[in-house]
Structure 1
Amino acid sequence: MLSEVENFDNNNSDVMSPEDKKKYLSELLADRESQRLADIAVRNEKRDKERASHESQDLFAAAFSSEYEKLTYELAQIENATFSPGVELEPLQTELQNIAIRIETLQKNLNESTNFLPVRSIGSYKSQITSLQISVTALRDALQPKKKFAFKLKRKPIQSTSASASPLQKQTQSQPAASEMLIKPLFECIKNQNIELQGEKVDGQDVILQNIVDSQVRILGCPATLHLLNVENSKVLIGPCSSSVFLEQCSNSTIVLACQQLRCHTSKNCYLFVHITSRGIIEDSTGLKIGPYSLSYPKLDDHFKAANLPRERNNWQKIDDFNWLSKTEKSPNYSYIPENEMQSFLLG
């Protein structure tokens, strides 16, 4: 600005009148101020768009994960009924068709949201939708008359996907071998033990751990999804999960986990140290204390990358309680861990 004024003085001091000179300088200053305000407006607009994009991503992730879990659970219920003696197939076929329509809606919502979703998230969502579609196709075949015998053929396609399943599936599938389970591997009845799971046992797998009592469990890898069922007086340390973690009937335990979506049901009096990239959801739970993820081990960074979880984004304070409807007051069913109760979990 000063250089422009100096050049103007040197070149026009003998040409322009004082009034014209004053007018010219005023216009120059006004132009500069207009440009400055325009630059500020552009920066503010960019910042607002980025903020809106992040908020939209959070809302989509919460809605998608909620519907995905409901669909997975309902598919598991249909599967359980399919192999029950004397079951009528027509009502199940109607229910399955309704689920197929909801999956199409889920796909449509994803297609309409690709403009603000990260590429890696779009790939993950597409994979989950594909797993649901495969499950519908397999169940539709199984529900055809005289085809109930095709038990193994039904399960093999589903086994290759990352679709999570309800614990009810595990309780009713007594016939198939472990390699034919919808979710594998399945570790259960762990009491007074100190165990560690890693490598091919967990990487990319849908993992269930259930009936864990007075034990310490370390999962040092990156599962696709993880279900913890009936955990009591135990410590469970979990590496990054690429999709969801489901907690069911956990009590008086410390659980350290990283995932895209957390769902916690019918649990009480637990410390949860979490890394969540969307939102955490609790239901029928009380006495939960929640803090930021604090697990560290040599391959943790590699596992975060493999799970496509951004380290810099942790929404551990964004918790929705489905039993608490107030939008102005925080739910009394959970609290944030005070600084004097924070813990770090360092593994060699």
Structure 2
Amino acid sequence: MEDEMEKVTSSSSNNEEAEAEAALQKKHLSMLDRLSKRHPTKSTTTSTEPPTESTSSFLSRFSQLKSSIESHLSESQFISSSDPSHLKSHFDKISQSISDLEKLVAQSSYFLPSYDVRSSLKTVSDFKRTLDNLSSELIPKKKFSFKNKATKVVAESKQSITPVLDSVQSSFTVRDSPGFRNKTGEVLIGEFKESEFGEFTVSDLDSCEVRIIGCVRALFVHRLKNCRVYVGPVTGSILIEEVEGCVFVIASHQIRIHGAKRSDFYLRVRSRPIVEDCIGVRFAPYCLSYRGIEGDLHGAGLDVETGNWANVDDFRWLRAVQSPNWSILPENERAEIVDISNSECRKEEI
């Protein structure tokens, strides 16, 4: 009798385990189906695109580019002593390779585990810091001036552009790239129509409006309050930190936001936007216009709307439910198209 009861108990237990396993498998397949519908098939025309959308193929490509950059960085001291006149072009090639690596991460981030994204971004950041240090060490610095530049930067309200270093401590690496700094209540206009500009910094502004027409390679934004920032396509990445009460209309391959409060972001982005330590941030699709923006977006590989403006990753929110730190901006509160073609900017109220 006891043997029969043991058999019945064992059979019941096996059935429960089988049912639980089947339910788990069904749940897993359902999740995969939702993910496949959530992320549209990506174009394969970009040279840095991984051959297949898998973590292993990404890591293989990432490792190849990483080794190449490390090799070129290690050659810098030798080039400096043997042929210093080639240093600038050498560093330019390394900078472009780092940008390619960053784009690879951006294009792959939507299917990568969060750990791989963070680790890869740290590698990119370390490469940039190393290149900056080598450049500062091996190439004498020259005072920045727009007088001999092919591109022209103008601004209203007697603004000026200077390579002033930020004195306030920040988690950003302090950069001496050209940009707008330390302004209050001004309209600041940057025009880069002839070719892609390099890195550009916008920092320590209060109640200002920033308009950047044309393409830049990278944009760094920090310590802004009550500002409006309208930016054409950024071919690399945008890094934003410590902003409050602001509106951003920006397009880039990768956008990272840290320490933002009560701000709205109108985005076009190839990868999932990343937020960290943010409160009350809202997102909507890109709505900028100026003469020639279609060509600029096409040249930057940002002419196609991916819908990633709504696929935000909150690195401080690890639960399965929606993060309370960000939300979709309601349609009835969104701006219409913002046109910055003329100095008298025509735009809807935001």
1:283-294 paired onto structure 2 within 5 Å: 283-294=276-287
Q: CA deviation at 1:208?
A: 0.6
Which structure: greater helix fraction?
Answer: 1
Given that 2:268 and 2:302 are in contact with CA atoms closer than 8 Å, whether structure 1 keeps it comes out as no
Q: CA deviation at 1:187?
A: 2.0
Instruction: Name the CA shift for 1:253/1:130 in 2 (closer, same or farther; >3 Å).
Output: closer
**SS of equivalent to 1:242:** strand
For 1:193, which of 155, 165, 186 is the aligned residue?
186
Other-structure match for 2:327: 335
Range with greater deviation from structure 2 (306-315 or 204-213): 306-315
Question: What amino acid is the match of 2:218?
Answer: T
Q: What is the identity percentage for the equivalent residue pairs of Structure 1 and Structure 2?
A: 25
Instruction: Name the CA shift for 1:155/1:268 in 2 (closer, same or farther; >3 Å).
Output: same
**SS of equivalent to 1:312:** coil
Residue segments in structure 1 that go unaligned for 5+ positions in a row: 1-46, 72-102, 115-128, 143-149, 157-168, 173-180
Could you tell me how far apart the structure 1 residues matched to 2:262 and 2:235 are? 26
**TM-score (structure 2 length as normaliser):** 0.52
**SS of equivalent to 2:303:** coil
**SS of equivalent to 2:197:** coil
1:248 correspondence with 2:234: no
Question: What amino acid is the match of 1:187?
Answer: F
Other-structure match for 1:207: 200
Q: CA deviation at 1:339?
A: 1.1
Question: What amino acid is the match of 2:329?
Answer: I
Question: What amino acid is the match of 1:197?
Answer: G
Could you tell me how far apart the structure 2 residues matched to 1:280 and 1:51 are? 16
Could you tell me how far apart the structure 2 residues matched to 1:212 and 1:202 are? 27
Instruction: Name the CA shift for 1:154/1:278 in 2 (closer, same or farther; >3 Å).
Output: farther
Residue segments in structure 2 that go unaligned for 5+ positions in a row: 1-35, 44-48, 67-96, 109-122, 143-163, 168-173, 342-350
Could you tell me how far apart the structure 1 residues matched to 2:233 and 2:218 are? 10
Question: What amino acid is the match of 1:271?
Answer: D
Given that 2:208 and 2:226 are in contact with CA atoms closer than 8 Å, whether structure 1 keeps it comes out as yes
RMSD: 4.4
Structure ID, larger Rg: 1
Question: What amino acid is the match of 1:220?
Answer: I
Instruction: Name the CA shift for 1:213/1:308 in 2 (closer, same or farther; >3 Å).
Output: same
**SS of equivalent to 2:257:** strand
Other-structure match for 1:153: 139
Which structure: greater strand fraction?
Answer: 2
Number of residue pairs matched by the alignment: 219
Instruction: Name the CA shift for 1:326/1:238 in 2 (closer, same or farther; >3 Å).
Output: same
For 2:264, which of 259, 262, 271 is the aligned residue?
271
Could you tell me how far apart the structure 1 residues matched to 2:138 and 2:251 are? 33
Encode CA deviations 1:62-108: one digit per residue, 9 max, x unaligned. Answer: x99xx9xxx9xxxxxxxxxxxxxxxxxxxxxxxxxxxxxxx99x97x
Q: CA deviation at 1:199?
A: 1.5
Could you tell me how far apart the structure 1 residues matched to 2:241 and 2:124 are? 26
Other-structure match for 2:288: 295
1:1-348 paired onto structure 2 within 5 Å: 136=130, 139=133, 151-153=137-139, 170-171=165-166, 183-199=176-192, 203-327=196-320, 329-344=321-336, 345-348=338-341
Question: What amino acid is the match of 2:259?
Answer: T
Could you tell me how far apart the structure 2 residues matched to 1:189 and 1:210 are? 7
Could you tell me how far apart the structure 2 residues matched to 1:319 and 1:245 are? 15
Given that 2:290 and 2:340 are in contact with CA atoms closer than 8 Å, whether structure 1 keeps it comes out as yes
**SS of equivalent to 1:222:** strand
Other-structure match for 2:8: none
Could you tell me how far apart the structure 1 residues matched to 2:138 and 2:252 are? 31
